[in-house]
Structure 1
Amino acid sequence: MATRQKKAATDVNSDRWLLLIYKVPSDSSRARVAVWRELKRLGGFYVQQAVCVLPDREELRTGMEKVREKVTELGGSSVFLTLTDVGEDAQTQFVDGFRSQSAKEYAEIVEECDTKFVKEIEFERFRENYTFEEAEEIRQDLEKLRRWLAKVEDRDWMNAEGKELARAKVLDCERLLEEFEADVYERTEGKI
Structure 2
Amino acid sequence: MATEDWLLLTYKVPAEPNRHRVALWRKLKGLGAVYLQNGVCLLPKTDDHRRALKLIDNEILEIGGAAFLLESAPLDRSQSERVVARFRAERDEAYKELLDRCDDFEAEIAKEVAADHYSYAEIEENDEDLKKLKAWFGKIHKLDFYGASLAAAAQARLAKCETLLDAYANEVFVRQDENRQADSEEC
TM > 0.5 between the two?
Answer: yes
**Counterparts of 2:155 and 2:114, CA distance in 1:** 27
CA 1:127–1:11 in 2, change beyond 3 Å: closer, same or farther?
farther
1:73 Cα offset (Å): 4.2
Pairwise CA RMSD: 1.9
The alignment status of 1:138 with 2:126, answered yes or no, reads: yes
Contact 1:44/1:53 (<8 A) preserved: yes
Report the counterpart of residue 26 of structure 2 in structure 1: 37
The alignment status of 1:82 with 2:77, answered yes or no, reads: no
SS at match of 1:94: helix
Number of aligned residue pairs = 179
1:179 Cα offset (Å): 0.8
1:161 Cα offset (Å): 0.7
Please, which runs of 5 or more residues in structure 2 have no aligned partner?
Answer: 182-187
**Counterparts of 2:52 and 2:135, CA distance in 1:** 19
Q: In the TM superposition, what whole-angstrom CA distance separates every residue of 1:114-145 from its partner, at most 9, and x where no partner exists?
A: 1x111111222233332212211111111111
The alignment status of 1:101 with 2:90, answered yes or no, reads: yes
Q: 1:177 aligns with which of 134, 159, 165?
A: 165
**Counterparts of 2:49 and 2:160, CA distance in 1:** 32
Please, which runs of 5 or more residues in structure 1 have no aligned partner?
Answer: 1-9
1:67 Cα offset (Å): 2.3
**Counterparts of 2:174 and 2:39, CA distance in 1:** 56
Q: 2:114 aligns with which of 109, 113, 126?
A: 126
The letter for the 2-side match of 1:147 is A
The alignment status of 1:55 with 2:55, answered yes or no, reads: no
Contact 1:11/1:158 (<8 A) preserved: no
The letter for the 1-side match of 2:97 is E
Give the TM-score normalised by the residue count of structure 1: 0.84
Q: 1:113 aligns with which of 102, 127, 132?
A: 102
**Counterparts of 1:100 and 1:126, CA distance in 2:** 37
Identity %: 34
Report the counterpart of residue 46 of structure 1 in structure 2: 35
The letter for the 2-side match of 1:137 is E
